Structure formats: structure tokens, C-alpha cells
A and B are shown apart, each in its own frame.
Chain A
Amino acid sequence: MNRLTVKLEKRLTPSPVMAFIIPFISVILALLLGAIFLSLTGQKPLDVYATMFGETLGSKYGLTETMVKAIPLMLTSLGVSLAFKMQLWNIGAEGQLYMGAFGASWLPLTFPTLPIYLMLPGMILLGMAAGGLWALLTALPRAIWKVNEIITSLMLNYVAILWVDYLVYGPWKDPKGSNFPLSAPFPDAARLPGLGNSRIHAGLIFAVLLAIILAVVFKYSRWGYSIKVIGSSERAASYAGMNIKRNIFWVMFISGAISGLAGMAEVSGIIGKLQHGLSPGYGYTAIIVAWLSKLNPLTIIIVSVLFGALQVGGYSVQLMGVPAAVATMLQGAILFFVLGGDILTNYRVILASRKGEEVRH
């Protein structure tokens, strides 16, 4: 009897075919796994998926909401992908988004009469600065003492959310808001214009522009190149004379600033005030989107739309009595399959029999 053994052989270069098809297969497998799970818990998986995708991709309202949810996902994913490129695990996008929302809200709440040409640029600057500075709280200990950035950036998420809660339950609470945790509504000059007549706002343009800029930076600039080199080997980078500390500092600042812009776009483009719970976890979903997109800025734009749909789909199945958390679960499952599938991109699977015949795949 020939016993087959499975061997893995590292590919010299990652397989482009695998890299392309694995994300698709992963989504399908995650949906299958979800279907099994749904039926085990007494739901009808086909009906659930039909509602999920029918309500999102099948109606103008659903498509609009999908885009509305996709915008903050695009921005936060672009933010984290920049840091991830350097193997800097910034998982603080959620907190950076909240601080961006806080920074941007300060201007209209303090100077409500500013004209629009001062108000909107000011809000963008303040939102980005607040998100960027918040990320520096993680970057500085990482650059100086190599303090694990994963834990600090994550802990600061909780602090940022509590800070916004403090404001909207306390000093910034709208006296006319019948005791809800909301700030006073922004003046019209502080509202990002919508595209056409829809809820989709100018944040989409920011996201697409940023994606193009980042794609160019990664592909053509010296700085983009050095980020990649530092990401693959800090030692090699420092032999090559690259300043690692300064790069950690700037990459984290810009990464945080982009997530801060996501917060600004939410309060200015969608909500029109600062409020409790302004993100359902965009900053965490961003990690999945960035990884699924292989940190490619242009892919991020497309994958964000898919995850926006998943988010809206999660809400729409609640009416059927299915908890919205099913969407989060599917997101996690997709990432499992992508991670597992990566082995096929980087390794060749070889089935070898005892006789030494090898069957290559």
C-alpha cells in the first residue's frame, strides 16, 4: 500500500492565479459555513441570504446605504493598510475615527457662524489632526522603546470612545436634545455636500482620491518603497540607511489622520452632529478589508463596497429575527479562509507516495 503524504514546498514567487481566486473562494466558503451555522440554529439560510443581498444590492435604497457604509470602511481601511504595509499593526482605526469626529465637531460647535469655505476645510484639517495625533500616542512608544503597538492602539480605542461619550453625555450635550446623548446639530455650512440628491456624500471622493494617491505612492515613490522595505525587514532597512523611527512616526500619523477623516466624514456627511456610538466597528472591519485586499489601495475601494453591503445586510435580516451579529461572524470567517488559503499562494502542495513518485499540484 502506498501511503500518500502531503508536503508543502515554498514557491519561489507567490502564485498570481491563487492570489486572485482565493478571496472569491473564501467568500463562498464563508457563506457556506454561515449557511450550515444558520441552519443549525434553526434559520433558513437561503432566505437569510436572499434578504441580505436582495435588500442591499436589489434596491436603490439598499445600494445607497451600502455606499454610505462603504465610505468610512474605505477610509479606515486605507489608513490601516498604510501602517500594515510597514508591518505596523495599527488596530486603533476605530479610536482614530472617533477622535477625528471629535476634532471635526469642535469647530462647528464652537464657531457655528463660520462660512462654508472656512468651516469644511477647517473641519477636515482638525479631524485629520486629531486622528493623527491620537495615533502618535501609539507611534511614539513603539518608535522609542518598541512597545507593542497592537495593544496600545487597541486600548486607546476604548479611551477615545469613552471620551466622545463623556462629551455627548456631558459638556457637549444638546440642551434641546431631550436628554439623548447627542451634540447640538451642525449648521448647514458644516455639512459635506451629498452627491446628486442622495445620502452618499463627498467623503466618497476623498476616499477614491486617497486610494489613487496611495497607489501611486506605493508604486512609484521612494518613500513608498522604503515603507515596504522596512515592512519586510527592519534590519535590512536600517543597513540601507532608512530612518525607521521617523517612518514609524509619519506612517502612524498619516494612518491615523486618514481614519480621522473617516470620522469627520461621518459626522459632517451623515449624522450632522456628534453622537454616542457613531461607528458600528468600521475600524475593526477595516482590518479585514485591508487584508482581504492584500493592502492594495484600489482593491480596498471595491472590497469596502462588498463589506458595506454585508453591514447593511446584517441590519436587514434583523427583521427576520436573525441577529445582526451574523454579519460580523461572516466577516471573521471570510478572513479565516483567506488566511488559510494564502498557503496555496505561497506554497506548492505536493502529494508524495512512499515510492517517491510525486504528484504536483
Chain B
Amino acid sequence: MSIQEFLIPLLATAITAGTPILYAAIGELITERAGIINLGVEGIMLVGAVSGFMAAIATGSPWMGLLASMLAGGAVALIHAFLTITLRANQVVSGLSLTIFGTGLSGYLGKSYIGIPVAKPFDIMPLGPLAKIPIIGPIFFQHDILVYISYGLVIVLWYYMYRTRPGLNLRALGENPAAMDALGINVFLLRYIYVVVGGMFGGVGGAYLSLAYAPSWLENMTAGRGWIAVALVIFALWNPLRALLGSYLFGGIDALGFRLQVLNVQISPFFLKMLPYLFTVLVLVVVVARHKGRLSTPGALGLPYDREER
């Protein structure tokens, strides 16, 4: 086997394996930029995965599934928004309870869907002439449509955050909500919107697993990807372009373990499965240590906003 025959499929799989993490990380990135930590991503992804799957089976359309996963992800995130923004609850514990609740809810709803194939998943759809470019084509442009949408999404989000007025407001929302409030901007409403939109992307991340990557439903099928997405946002220093790179890096580690198993390498599959988790810890430690703890964390991240205490 030539190096190309090994590398090109590996990199192509890195992209598909990284895409669910990318969607979830984008959702978390928006949420955290608005000043709210949401540790419920894992639960949101699971609920998104199961509701997308159920809707796709009921309607026969993966797009309806995608829509359902966005609505479900947004609805679960709304609980977090209400608890942390309106009721000023502890964001860490609220997020954890979201994950526990989402795990239970998805397990409950999905019980009778285990092992059922979905009639119409998101199929592979080579992207015209782009797919024919040597090396680049097979790596980037021979995937399903959700992958292509994610490319666009990252660019649009980057532009929105760094080149538009509302994007500037989003960044300020997580840095200094009191100043935004003084400018007459509705901090509470905006935070609600970004938390819910973030949850929608988390839902899409889950639906990508159940409607494109797997495509099937399995209890706890996210297997920690939601948590990896949370770690990835720190690795990305809250920048969508770095989040894209990071997602494919993690996807690559996932894919590597899988490829090595297929090639019958003499390493226990259990150790190969540990790779993404160990890699997450390692990357997090290296990134944080390199910045000596002074990351560009949004200044007001995790703090409830209280007008009276300005």
C-alpha cells in the first residue's frame, strides 16, 4: 500500500469524523462568546441525534430530521438559558444536569429505534468538478452535504464575528455585558438567542452522527464527542477557523484508530479507542500550559449578569 492510499482515505475520514464535533464546537463557541458556558453539549447532541433520527424515519426525509434535531437542541438549550440567565443558576451544574437529562431523554425516546436503519440518510454527494481535483477532491469534496454546509458556516461565522456590528456585540457580550447594557443593548435577550442558537448547532452535530456518519441510532452514540467539543473551543481560543482545524485534528485521531484496526495492527482496539480522549487531555494541557493560563477566555464567561450588581 502506498502512502497515498493510506493517507487520502485517512484524511477524508478525518473530515467526516470531525464534522459532528465541528458543529457542536461552533454551537459552544457562540454560546461561550455570549458569556455562558454550556456543559450540556453532550446531552444536546444526544437529544439532537435521536430526535433527528426519529423525524427522518417518520417523514422519510433527512432534512426534516435535521430540522427536528435543531428544534430539539434549541429547546434543551433553552432550559439552560432560563436557569442560568434568568434564574442565575450555577452554569457548571446546570450544564451537567442538561447532559444527564439529555442522556436519559434520548435513551428513553430511542429505545425502540435501536438497530433500525434509516431509509434516506444524507448520502455522499461529490461536489461537481471540485471533487475531481487530485488529492484535494477526495479529501474535501466527496462527502455529504452537511460537510459542505459546515465549510460555509465556519467562514460565515468568522466574518460575522470579526467583520460585522452584531458580531462585535456578540464578542462584547461575553467580555463586558455591563457596558453593552449601558449602550442600551438587551443583554438578556441576546444571551438567550445565542444560547438557543448554540444548542441548535449542537443538535445538528448529533443529527450528523445519526443521519450521516453512522447512520443509525445507538444509546450514548456521541461517546464523549460533546465534551471533546467543549475542550476544542478552548483549544480554538474561541475562533471558528481554529475550531475547524481542531475538529479535523480530532477527527483524524478517531479515524487513525479506526484505520489501524482495519489494517490489523497489533494494538488492542481498547487502546485505540482511548486515543481521542487521551489526545483531548494532552492537547488541552499543552495549549493551556503554553499560554501560561492566560488564554483569551471571554472576560465574563460563566458569570451571571445582574443589573443591580453593576
Chain A interface (Cβ < 8 Å from any Cβ of B): 8-10, 41, 89, 91, 137, 141, 144-148, 150-152, 154-156, 158-159, 162-163, 165-166, 169-170, 284-285, 287-288, 291, 323-333, 335-336, 339-340, 342-343, 347
Contact = CB atoms under 8 A, between A and B. Distances in A.
B97 A141 contact: no
25 contacts: A141-B288, A145-B285, A150-B39, A150-B230, A152-B281, A152-B285, A155-B278, A158-B223, A165-B270, A166-B268, A166-B271, A169-B270, A170-B268, A287-B93, A291-B93, A323-B107, A324-B107, A325-B105, A331-B100, A335-B93, A336-B79, A336-B101, A339-B94, A342-B87, A347-B88
B285 A329 contact: no
A335 B102 CA distance: 13
B81 to A, nearest CB: 12
Contacts of B227: 151, 154-155
B280 A331 contact: no
B277 A159 contact: yes
B270 A162 contact: yes
A-B interface, 6 closest residue pairs, ranked by CB to CB distance from nearest: A332-B101, A328-B104, A325-B107, A329-B104, A335-B97, A166-B270
Contacts, number: 151
Question: B-side binding surface: helix, strand, loop or mixed?
Answer: helix
Is the interface on chain B under 10, 10 to 19, 20 to 34, or 35 or more residues? 35 or more
A155 B100 contact: no
Contact of A156 (B104, B223, B268, B281): B281
A326 B89 contact: no
B96 A328 contact: no
Interface in B188-218: none
Contact of B83 (A285, A326, A330, A336): A336
Contact of A329 (B79, B105, B231): B105
Interface string B83-111: 10001111011101111111111111101
Interface string B267-289: 01011011001101100110011
Nearest to A30: B101
Contact of B92 (A89, A156, A342): A89
A41 B285 CA distance: 44
B77 interface: no
Given A158-B224, A159-B274, A332-B100, 17 more contacts: A41-B109, A141-B284, A145-B292, A148-B284, A148-B288, A155-B231, A156-B281, A158-B223, A166-B270, A324-B107, A325-B108, A329-B108, A330-B104, A333-B101, A339-B89, A340-B82, A343-B88
Nearest to A38: B108
Contact of A342 (B39, B89, B271, B292): B89
Given A89-B92, A339-B87, A329 B292 contact: no
Nearest to A9: B308
B72 interface: no
Contacts of B99: 332
B103 A328 contact: yes
A163 B277 CA distance: 12
A210 to B, nearest CB: 23
B234 interface: yes
B104 A155 contact: no
Contact of A10 (B270, B281, B308): B308
A91 B96 contact: yes
Contacts of A331: 100-101, 104
A41 B92 CA distance: 30
Report which residue of A154, A162, A327 has the largest number of chain B beta carbons within 10 angstroms of its beta carbon: A154
A137 B278 CA distance: 11
Nearest to B108: A325
B92 A150 contact: yes
A166 B268 CA distance: 8
B293 interface: yes
Interface string B101-123: 11111111101000000000000
A343 B86 CA distance: 10
Contacts of B89: 339-340, 342-343
A151 B293 contact: no
Contacts of B106: 325
Contacts of B219: 325
A147 B108 contact: no
Most chain B beta carbons < 10 A, residue from A156, A284, A323: A323
B284 A335 contact: no
Contacts of B230: 150-151
Contacts of A158: 223-224, 274, 277
Nearest to A89: B92
Contacts of B288: 141, 145-148
Nearest to B231: A151
Nearest to B87: A343
A155 B224 contact: yes
B105 A339 contact: no
Nearest to A339: B89
B111 A325 contact: yes
B223 to A, nearest CB: 7
A287 B100 CA distance: 10
A287 B104 CA distance: 15
A285 B97 CA distance: 10
A156 B277 contact: yes
Contacts of A148: 231, 234, 284, 288
Contact of B97 (A165, A288, A324): A288
Contacts of B88: 343, 347
A332 B98 contact: yes
A137 B284 CA distance: 13
A339 B90 contact: yes
B101 A155 contact: no
B100 A147 contact: no
Contacts of B102: 332
A89 B64 CA distance: 38
A154 B292 CA distance: 22
A288 B280 contact: no
Contacts of B309: 10
